[in-house]
Amino acid sequence: MDHFRNPRNMGEMKDADAVGEYGNPTCGDLMYIYIKVKEINGQKIIDDISFQTFGCAAAIASSSMITEIAKGKTLDDAIKITRDDVADALDGLPPIKLHCSNLAADALHVAIKKYRENE
């Protein structure tokens, strides 16, 4: 509930290096994950990350949590973040809301793939 009531890294990033958009037409949730990448010692690092989510409390909490998990990670490590990682970090989600953590992980993966396509 804390990540829903006090979301971290929320808002559009105007100068993002890439944006991952992912949604679920069945439930209507839509997420945007914005990433800013910096190269440090030959490694591409997620230097900054933010999100915009249009959806339920679980979708907002999942988006907030994935930004916390991914920030500071290499792109190679961040692309490995799974929906289970997000749900576990939130101390679980109700079974009917597990798809929300899927959306957050998928939106992050889309952002990373778009960044890599434009390198």
pLDDT of residue 95: 59
Record the pTM: 0.88
pLDDT over threshold 60, residue 105:
yes
15 phi and psi angles, rounded to 5 deg: -110, 35
pLDDT of residue 76: 97
Q: Where are the alpha helices (DSSP H) in the chain?
A: 2-5, 57-70, 75-78, 83-89, 98-117
Helix (H) or strand (E) holding 48: strand 43-54
pLDDT of residue 70: 97
Architecture of domain 2-117: Alpha-Beta Complex (3.90)
Confidence at 92, pLDDT banded by 50, 70, 90: low
pLDDT over threshold 60, residue 117:
yes
Question: How do strand 43-54 and strand 18-23 relate by DSSP bridges?
Answer: unpaired
pLDDT of residue 91: 79
Which residue of the set 19, 100, 105, 111 is catalytic? Answer: 100
Which residue of the set 10, 27, 79, 89 is catalytic? Answer: 27
Q: Is 56 a catalytic residue?
A: no
Residue partners of 119: CB distance under 8 A and separation at least 6: none
∠58-63-64 over CA atoms, to 5°? Answer: 100
